Structure 1
Amino acid sequence: MKQVAQNYRSGELVVLDVPVPACKPGGVLVRSLFSLISTGTEMMKVTEARLSLIGKARARPDQVRKVIDSVAQQGPVATYKKAINTLDSYTPLGYSLCGVVVEVGQGAEEFAVGDVVAAAGNEFALHAELNWVPTNLCVRVPEGVAPQHAAFATVGAIAMQGVRRGEAQLGEMACVIGLGLIGQLVVRLLVAAGVRVVGIDTVPQRCRMAEAAGAMACAGPDGEGTAYVEQVLQAATGGLGADHVFLAAGGDSNGPVELAARLARDRARVVDIGKTKLDLPWNAYYEKELDVRFSRSYGPGRYDDRYELDGVDYPAGYVRWTERRNLQCFLDLLAGGSLEVASLVSGTRPVTDAATVYGDLRDGTVTGIGYLFEYPQPTGDATQARYAAGPPLARTLPAPAATPSARPGGVGAGPVRVGFIGAGSYASSMLLPHLAKAPAVVLATVATTRSLSAVNAQRKFGFAAMTTDADTVLQDPHIDAVFVVTRHHSHADFVCRALEQGKAVFVEKPLALRQEQLDRLLETVARTGNDRVMVGFNRRFAPLFTDLRRRFGHHPGGPVSARYLVNAGRLSPDSWYLDEELEGSRFLGEGGHFVDTLSAWIGHAPVEVSAFQTSNGADLHAVLRHADGSLATITYATDGDNRFPKETLDVSGGGGNARLDNFTRGTVWSRSGKDVKRSYAGQDKGQRAEVAAFVEAVRRSAPMPISLASLTSTTRATIAVGESLASGRPVVL
């Protein structure tokens, strides 16, 4: 299928052939009829992508702060690689469309194949021939509403939420500053609600368009134009001024927010809908006691994964207008004739012309505010069944002919054909670069749930095929090894399915989240006889770690004491790591790394686990007693400063001490003195050596680099930390 995408590093904008996304539970697969270009939000992104790296940094200071924190924790080399990997990727465009349901996922049975729907979301309603859309971001289009007009529903919901935030009432006066696509819709909604409207915009054509839609008067923000609008306001309100000012403008000028204070009445509401500079002039806003409000996108539910992805609705008695209800309301107004958007359609072009259209909009070659992409449609009678029909859903695509798809094998054995399930940031920055350089590896197929993720992985690393169907990888008899780099809750299931297909499996931590998942895995191994499993416990392979352990030596004094301090830091509130119900606790997801590293150092598995947590739940201490009598403490802290180094390992025993400082420096203290070694090439946590060891084991049918018994022991100990916290007692393994 075709999809519009942009490389944020180079600014290149292209229409790509990508695999059709999978139809996941909780949503529907929609074949696009029309999608709307947001000439505000999207053009801002398109323009930003063409800036230099310095220009991008100035435009996104929030991302710069994250990079600075990452440098402190991971070092400049690793941070640079991750940042460039993120920048040098195709990203999607679009968030408002109308299409036809062609497949219904489990839990989305309120829809049926053939339903004409409007869809929303900058991760779902993309400029693509087919999109998977969750149920709460999708609504049926009423009879009589043309698909090209229904494609405005998302942008209409944004405007509607802004109007709702203003709480405008019948007969009041409103001023809309910025008469682009959002501003024009705000004008129409206010007029439909019986609110008198004036407008301000730099483009005369937009002013005339708003007046044709019912605005009393519109003019430019220059002195003469502002004076004219102000005169109309004063006459209409008896000298009071605007009851509401809606900021629908964009840019870095503070003019709109200053003008709002001038035109607003005493104690008026100022609602920010667009993305404009908001350096509030204190005196003007204080003297009038203006009420400044923000309008968050489509409405309540936006940015809440429980609502958008899990389909958990807000009760209407508590939240009357959610983003989905706003979408439906906008369509109902179109169906009833209270609202029209036909006059906003400036042009309709085939989606294959996307690069030209965006270029013309950026350069000002074309004017207007409402441009639609049209998608190929099956021929026949104008029925829903006709729209639902179409070519087969191609979820697997071969690589372009120019992309190498094979490499020569190693000496003494054939090449290892590798399939990947998942190709996110970690896989793309820490695993695939090493595999792509390995002469004994053939990257066969990459499977991702999002189409562009597969395209990015194929483009960067040379996979022979890309797919959105994980079974394509699992069931391919020519694939020797499967890498599972997906979200935590899916690991155990994918491992079992891969083992049942006779594959060797490399899975990122954790191996399992619950004991029953671990039991299923062990049952699968026993039933199939296939124990070829490796977990991505990379730290035991880190050069500084292995060298430090060698220099520390095996002292005759017996057991050791170890402390592993992990400054895990805070996560953004919307991080999927915080979904404990589905993904387990943060420690359960990451703690296996530290349990395994300690076991690798001590040489014995833990036999007992005790865990304690601070009263606010931010930090925990896990005490591990190992089979040889060694004691190890893991301090997992999430309430520290993100700029403090992430990991510090201290070991004492046999008359010596050792310290590993964040995988950049290893120090041993002994009777012969202090011995320090540093990693001048940057932080190396062992991914390169780990991947090489796994590939060699698969290639030569040798034992896995970490035994299944050790993997099981580490997983059981990690799960036991949560059990000990819950019970308040030690857990014997």
Structure 2
Amino acid sequence: MKQVVQNYRSGELSVLDVPAPGCKPGGVLVRSAFSLISTGTELMKVSEAGMSMLGKARSRPDQVAKVMQSVATNGLPATYRKVMGKLDSYTPLGYSLCGVVEQVGAGVDDVKAGDLVACAGNEHALHAELNWVPRNLYVPVPDGLAPRHAAFGTVGSIALQGVRQGEPQLGEVALVIGLGLIGQLVVQLLTAAGVRVVGADPDPARCELAERLGAVACGDPGSAAVAAAVAELTGGHGVDQVYLAAGGASNQPVELAAALARDRGRVVDIGKCRLDLPWNAYYEKELDVRFSRSYGPGRYDPEYELEGRDYPIGYVRWTERRNLACFLDLVSRGRVDVEPLISHIADFEDAVETYRRLKDGESKAVAVLFRYSGPEGEGTAQAPAVAVPAVRVETRAPAPSRPVDTPVRLAFVGAGNYATSMLLPHLAQREGVVLSTVVTTTALSAANAQRKFGFARATTDLDGVLGDPSIDAVFVVTRHSSHADLTRRALLAGKTVFVEKPLALTEDELAGVLAAVTESGNDRLQVGFNRRFSPLLREAKARFGTRSGPASLRYLVNAGRLQHGSWYLRQGTEGSRFTGEGGHFVDTASWLLEADPVSVYAVAAAGNEDLQVVLRYPDGSTATISYVTTGASGFPKETMDLVADGKVLKLDDFVRASVHVDGTAGRKRWVSSRLPKARDKGQSNEVAAFVRAVRTGGPMPVPLESLVATTAATLAVRTGLASGAPVTLARAAR
């Protein structure tokens, strides 16, 4: 088998052919699928190996002391031979991986051959094709968790153990110093525990990433912004906990911890930074300094790690293995998101070059994975699938009958910026529409909407609105995390529902909405996919005409960067930006191609949110959506080209469109006039079609099957990013 090794004397790295380990009792033989490079610990070791002998001695004074003791005991010649022999040997790298059990040793009964497991240990979870792993250093991977995400288990356990040492409480405020791999995980774990987090790191990109993953504010450790954020969140008292996740020789982290911690606050050292504690500062606040020892209780205990002797849960609640299982559970349930941390995935055969690029600074990375060929590696993995639920309505509820001249009475749940700028202006003066009730979580926002748009009533009582028989339809225009639940409740109440995108953030949420349709027989639902209603795009589609062969569609979305503090950054609760917005572009492509996609392939550029999403359709057509956040702000947001049968449709940000056709009588060309007013992306036509369906009881503007297919395809993007493989959209039987 092959394994990554390093000669500590010369610093040389290589992928070496070595004998495969045997499967001993009390453990399992695991074939690696993905292993994680610890860009902190491992690169420090790699850098040390490249130093001169004097540099090595300066970096490891503890080892120098041992050498001097050996000289005193055994003499200089014997000590020299011993040290040189040890230095001039291969040493392994790696300690966090996910793989498939290939063989089970005697005494092991909790896993079997073929099971996916996450493994830990700098002697047992190495960058190697095969590893023997003892019982207490592996755990089964939860169903549905991608192997490359499970490879984060060990570093996640390190972060989790550090958070446990800080004993966070709901409502507290914490400071995380150092926003590398461990620091980013600490931020998410604290956020999941109900703690507000401030981050400190000199790298602006890492600060931005931490804010996307839940931090309230981040900044350079030496800037006034960090201190100001702490003062604002704590009323000037200081943070309850400080987590030192930084490395290096600077004493700034411990000094900053003392300056920003509250009286009797807790300081937890997780990384390996300089710890010259300023005595007066720590004494005056009586700061509680704690250390976090790797993955948790059991670490460095050979009876636990090698002999498999567990600690009784009544005495030691969280051991190494329990921390590992807990972290994987958090990732599998979406409480921690490791996907944005992955800067690069390299083939295992390219390990030496990958380390070189990291060491030389050519590759700026938070987390890098090695990918192995094998049963669960991306090279031979079975393509993942996302189910597109069938729409089942056993007893379809009839649309409410109404006299033609009876006005449609609408209720709005939510009155944020989109509702007040893009929807309500098209409804406020529409004939035959009564804005009956606006529901918000705060009384003042409801009162503002009532005053601006003439709602008859403003309330915070959602149940009262859903139970009001006079209300015909409900608009759900709240934050993304509430869409599915509010839609489900409104459908069960018998209301016609307009919900802004996205319909759901997870497959389970989508299934819950469809369960409400089945239970109630009420399938009168519209999702705010407005672009298909744009007058300009509809005319361009008509000019393009029918097609006989497959089409190729290219859609560039220049989304731009989010402003600091945007709730879109709260991916843990509100989903990723593409999950929230991508349905627009999937729906537009599917409407133009007049079909629902059958597969999704998604890739992300390293270190940012730029995505390439390729949709494949039943007739062989493809749509490529480039969703980018790093483009120029002055460039149009949405541009599109549709090519088929010698024809090209071009859309320029809903301002101008053109169609080019090769015909027998020469080339034909249609170009729209430049719109004199603001872009019309179809909101007015969309709400008009919805109101008409409510008034007449006719079909909804977009079939429910199409809404479900678009939502499933959008959700499949995350699955595809996790697996690195195309995702099949498997349609359930009706």
Question: What TM-score do the two structures reach when normalised by structure 1?
Answer: 0.51
Structure 2 CA distance for aligned equivalents of residues 321 and 380 of structure 1: 30
Q: Distance in 1 between matches of 2:36 and 2:376?
A: 23
Residue 296 of structure 1 corresponds to 293
For the Cα contact (< 8 Å) 2:242–2:266, is it kept in 1? yes
Structure-2 residue corresponding to 1:156 = 156
Out of 240, 244, 248, which is 1:243 matched to? 240
Distance in 1 separating the partners of 2:380 and 2:362: 37
Spell out, residue by residue over 1:289-344, the C-alpha distance to the aligned partner (whole angstroms, 9 max, x if none). Answer: 10000000000000000100010001111100001000000011111111111111
Q: How many residues align?
A: 384
Instruction: Give the distance between the partners of 1:4 and 1:325, measured in 2 at CA.
Output: 28
Q: What is the match of residue 355 of structure 1?
A: 352
In structure 1, the residue matched to 2:134 is: 134
Per the TM alignment, residue 72 of structure 1 is displaced from its structure 2 partner at its CA by: 2.2
Q: Hey, what's the Cα distance between the residues in 2 that align with 1:58 and 1:143?
A: 47
Give the Cα separation in 2 of the matches to 1:50 and 1:92: 15
**Counterparts of residues 200-279 of structure 1 (less than 5 Å):** 200-222=200-222, 226-279=223-276
Secondary structure at the counterpart of residue 184 of structure 1: helix
8 A contact 2:374–2:381 mirrored in 1? no
Tell me if the contact between 2:244 and 2:271 (Cα under 8 Å) persists in the aligned partners: yes
Map 1:82-481 → 2, pairs under 5 A: 82-222=82-222, 226-378=223-375
**Residue in 1 aligned with 2:55?**
55
SS across alignment from 2:80: helix
Q: 1:95 is matched by which residue type in structure 2?
A: Y
Quick one: distance in 1 between partners of 2:375 and 2:330?
29
Give the deviation of 1:381 after TM superposition: 12
Partner SS state of residue 107, structure 1 = coil
Distance 1:338 1:78, change over 3 A: same
Which residue type is aligned with residue 185 of structure 1?
Answer: L
Which residue does 1:499 correspond to in 2?
none
Residues 373 and 379, structure 2, Cα contact 8 Å, conserved in 1: no
Partner amino acid, structure 2, of 1:114: G
Q: Following the alignment from structure 2 to structure 1, what is the Cα–Cα distance between the partners of residues 202 and 150?
A: 28
Per the TM alignment, residue 379 of structure 1 is displaced from its structure 2 partner at its CA by: 9.1
What is the rounded CA distance, in whole Å, between the counterparts of 1:294 and 1:137 in structure 2? Answer: 22
Q: Deviations along 1:177-217, whole A, 9 cap, x unmatched?
A: 00000000000000011100000001100000000001010
Worse-superposed segment, 66-75 or 253-262: 66-75
Q: Which amino acid aligns with 1:41?
A: T
Residue 91 of structure 2 aligns to a residue whose secondary structure is strand
What is the CA–CA distance in structure 2 between the aligned matches of 1:145 and 1:111, rounded to whole Å?
17
Amino acid at match of 2:164: R
Deviations 1:635-670 (A, max 9, x none): xxxxxxxxxxxxxxxxxxxxxxxxxxxxxxxxxxxx
Residues 312-711 of structure 1: pairs in structure 2 closer than 5 A = 312-378=309-375
- Do the aligned residues in 2 keep the contact of 1:116 with 1:384 (CA within 8 Å)? no
How far the C-alpha of 1:386 sits from its partner, in A, is: 12
The more displaced of 178-187 and 234-243 is 234-243
Going from structure 1 to structure 2, the CA distance change for 1:22 and 1:231 (only over 3 Å counts) comes to same
> Post-superposition shift, 1:108?
1.8
What does residue 20 of structure 1 align with?
20
* 8 Å contact from structure 2 (residues 29, 104) kept in 1: yes
Whichever residue aligns with residue 69 of structure 2, its letter is: D
Structure 1 unpaired stretches of 5+: 388-733
CA contact (8 A) 1:211 1:217 kept: yes
Q: For the residues of structure 2 that align with 1:212 and 1:148, how far apart are their CA atoms?
A: 21
Q: Aligned partners of 1:99, 1:107: CA distance in 2, in Å?
A: 20
Cα deviation digits, residues 557-594 of structure 1 (max 9, x gap)? xxxxxxxxxxxxxxxxxxxxxxxxxxxxxxxxxxxxxx
Query: Does the 8 Å CA contact 1:378/1:386 hold for their aligned counterparts?
Result: no
The Cα of 1:22 is off from its aligned counterpart by 1.3
Query: Match for residue 468 of structure 2?
Result: none
Local SS of the residue matching 2:262 = strand
Whole-angstrom CA distance in 1 between matches of 2:188 and 2:241: 15
Q: 1:23–1:105: 8 Å Cα contact kept in structure 2?
A: yes
Query: What do residues 684-725 of structure 1 show as CA deviations (whole Å, max 9, x unaligned)?
Result: xxxxxxxxxxxxxxxxxxxxxxxxxxxxxxxxxxxxxxxxxx
- Equivalents in 1 of 2:180, 2:148: separation in Å? 18
What amino acid is the match of 1:227?
Answer: A
Q: 1:265 to 1:297 in 2, by over 3 A?
A: same
Is contact 1:217–1:232 with CA below 8 Å preserved after alignment? yes
1:73 Cα deviation after fit: 2.2
Q: Take 1:139 and 1:221, find their aligned partners in 2: how far apart are those partners?
A: 37
Looking at structure 2, the residues matched to 306 and 21 of structure 1 have their Cα atoms a distance apart, in angstroms, of 21
| More displaced stretch, 82-91 vs 107-116 | 107-116
Give the direction of change, closer, same or farther, for the CA distance of 1:357–1:183 in structure 2 (3 Å limit): same
* 1:36 and 1:371 in contact (8 A); partners too: yes
Q: Which amino acid aligns with 2:5?
A: A
Task: Tell me which residue corresponds to 1:478.
Answer: none
Q: Structure 1 residues 214 and 189, CA, compared in 2 at 3 Å: closer, same or farther?
A: same
CA distance in 2, matches of 1:332, 1:90: 36
Q: Secondary structure at the match of 1:324?
A: helix
Matched, 1:9 2:9: yes
CA RMSD, 1 decimal: 1.9
CA shift, 1:384, in A, is 9.7
- Structure 1 counterpart SS, 2:77: helix
1:345, 1:372 within 8 Å by CA — same for their partners in 2?
yes
Whether the 8 Å CA contact 1:114–1:385 is kept in 2: the answer is no
Q: Distance in 1 between matches of 2:205 and 2:379?
A: 36
* Residue pair 1:245, 1:270 contacting (<8 A) in 2 also: yes
1:202-233 C-alpha deviation (Å, 9 max, x unpaired): 110000000000101000122xxx31111111
Q: Shift of residue 93 of structure 1?
A: 0.3
SS in 2 for 1:276: coil
Residues 494-530 of structure 1 deviation map (CA, whole Å, 9 limit, x = unaligned): xxxxxxxxxxxxxxxxxxxxxxxxxxxxxxxxxxxxx
Deviation digits for residues 23-42 of structure 1 (CA, Å, limit 9, x no counterpart):
11111100000000000000
Percent of paired sites with the same residue: 67
Indicate the larger mover: 60-69 or 93-102.
60-69
2:279 and 2:121 map into 1 onto residues whose CA distance is: 36
Aligned to 1:505: none
Deviation at 1:109, TM superposition (A): 2.5
Cα distance change of structure 1 residues 67 and 330 upon mapping to structure 2, 3 Å threshold: same
User: Match for 1:234: what amino acid?
Assistant: A
CA contact (8 A) 1:34 1:98 kept: yes
Q: Whole-Å Cα distance in 2 between the matches of residues 150 and 194 of structure 1?
A: 24
- The aligned counterpart of 1:37 is 37
Secondary structure in 2 matching 1:284: helix
Offset from partner CA, 1:269-292 (integer Å, 9 cap, x none): 000000000000011101111000
Amino acid at match of 2:351: A
- Tell whether the 8 Å contact from 1:190 to 1:197 is kept in structure 2 after alignment: yes
d(CA) in 1 for partners of 2:122, 2:75: 32
Given that 2:373 and 2:380 are in contact with CA atoms closer than 8 Å, whether structure 1 keeps it comes out as no
Structure 2: how far apart are the matches of 1:64 and 1:228? 41
Gaps of 5+ in 2: 385-734
* Change in CA separation of 1:376 and 1:287 when aligned onto 2, cut-off 3 Å: same
Letter in 2 for 1:143: D
* Structure 1 Cα separation of the partners of residues 383 and 186 of structure 2: 35
Counterpart of 1:153, as a letter, is G
| C-alpha contact (below 8 Å) 1:31/1:99 kept by paired residues | yes
Counterpart residue number, 1:484: none
**Given the two structures, how large is their TM-score scaled by the length of structure 2?**
0.51
Q: CA deviation at 1:54?
A: 1.2
